[in-house]
Amino acid sequence: MPSLHYPKCRRSLPLLLVLLWTTGAFAQNANQIPKSKLSGKATILAINPQGLIQVKMEDGAKWIVAVPVKQEKNGNYYIDHLKIVVTGSAKPSWLKPGMFVKFTATFDEKGIGQQAINQMQIFIPSKEDPLGAYRAAGGNAGNLFDDEKPAGAKPKPQKATARFDVAGQLRGIRDGVLYVNAGGAALRVPVSEKCTISVAINGFQLCRVGDSVTLDAWYPTPQKALGRAQANRLDIAAAEPFEDKSESKRPVGKDKDKPEEDPGEKKPDEEKPAEKKPAG
């Protein structure tokens, strides 16, 4: 999942909704009929990637639920991914460039992490949760990420480090090192192969059979027996960790997902020893 791409279902979704709403489950004028609320926890039994899920409620009842949708100016209905919240955990093999990550780590003035991180969260940034690197509580002071030298300081200063709460976009992974852009700051930090990764993101494409879902939905009151509903919001708890099974046996970031090489990171050509000429 390089950058949380959503399924290409815009053309077929309206047709699915028409089928759902005109087979008796929803009257043609749905806004003019009494509605009942469908809420509670359920387990996902089946998924149609174009916008439908079948669930089994805690009382054993089975429902077909249309995922949250929004209508745009052109009259078409689209899946409203922001109203589908997915939480769970992930293994390091699932990390891909383009994901947004949060973690706390200690960095030097060059933005290089000093220890491997053991905890991380994959999230979706927002106005309330913006990207950037902010000093963690109790972090050291100093001009971190600043190349200025102390005025008149002849002795070589000690290495300055500070602890930061980082929210940034993953640029790449190489040899167990994450390359992250956090609000303009280019950071590098090693990640432990046993890193605990939590997931809190949006998107219908992340739903899986067996996941637990908390429903906020409705259905036409006279047609409850048909077992079809329209969701306002879905809160999904992943039953299993997210992982890239094709990469699960390889070390984190080994020979894959390399970030674009920064011009300043290019290594100079190694000097070749001068050839020895035979004595004349």
Could you give the percent of the chain with pLDDT greater than 90?
58
pLDDT at 125 over 90: yes
pLDDT of residue 255: 47
Q: Which residues contact 152 (CB under 8 A, 6 or more apart)?
A: none
Mean pLDDT of 243-259: 57
pLDDT at 126 over 50: yes
Q: Do the strands 62-66 and 52-57 form a parallel or antiparallel pair, or are they unpaired? A: antiparallel
To the question of pTM greater than 0.75 for the whole model, the response is: no
Which pLDDT band holds residue 268 (cuts at 50, 70, 90)? very low
pLDDT of residue 156: 59
pLDDT at 250 over 80: no
Which backbone phi and psi does 10 adopt, to 5 degrees? -65, -35
CB-hemisphere CA count at 13 Å for 127?
A: 0
Q: From the centroid of its chain, how far is CA 82?
A: 13
The more confident residue out of 174 and 280 is: 174
pLDDT of residue 75: 81
Per residue in 79-116, pLDDT (tens digit) is 999 999 999 999 988 999 999 999 999 999 999 999 99
Q: Which residues contact 15 (CB under 8 A, 6 or more apart)?
A: none
> Domain residue spans in the chain?
13-85+202-236, 89-139+159-200+243-259
pLDDT at 220 over 60: yes
The more confident residue out of 156 and 43 is: 43
pLDDT of residue 133: 93
Q: From the centroid of its chain, how far is CA 271?
A: 44
Averaged pLDDT score across all residues of the chain:
79
Lowest mean pLDDT among 102-111, 139-148, 229-238, 242-251: 139-148
Per residue in 134-151, pLDDT (tens digit) is 998 755 444 455 445 555
pLDDT of residue 50: 86
Separation between Cα atoms, residue 211 and residue 44, nearest integer Å: 6
Which superfamily does 13-85+202-236 belong to? Answer: Nucleic acid-binding proteins (2.40.50.140)
pLDDT at 280 over 70: no
Per residue in 16-72, pLDDT (tens digit) is 444 454 444 444 455 678 999 999 999 999 999 889 999 999 999 999 999 998 888
Q: Which residues contact 3 (CB under 8 A, 6 or more apart)?
A: 96, 97, 98, 99
Per residue in 173-207, pLDDT (tens digit) is 999 999 999 988 999 999 998 999 999 999 999 99
Separation between Cα atoms, residue 21 and residue 228, nearest integer Å: 9
Separation between Cα atoms, residue 123 and residue 166, nearest integer Å: 12
pLDDT of residue 168: 97
Lowest mean pLDDT among 76-80, 160-164, 260-264: 260-264
pLDDT of residue 195: 94
pLDDT of residue 193: 87
Are the C-beta atoms of 7 and 52 separated by less than 8 Å? no
Separation between Cα atoms, residue 151 and residue 12, nearest integer Å: 66
Which backbone phi and psi does 226 adopt, to 5 degrees? -75, -20
User: Any idea how long the chain is?
Assistant: 280
29: its two tokens: 């004028």
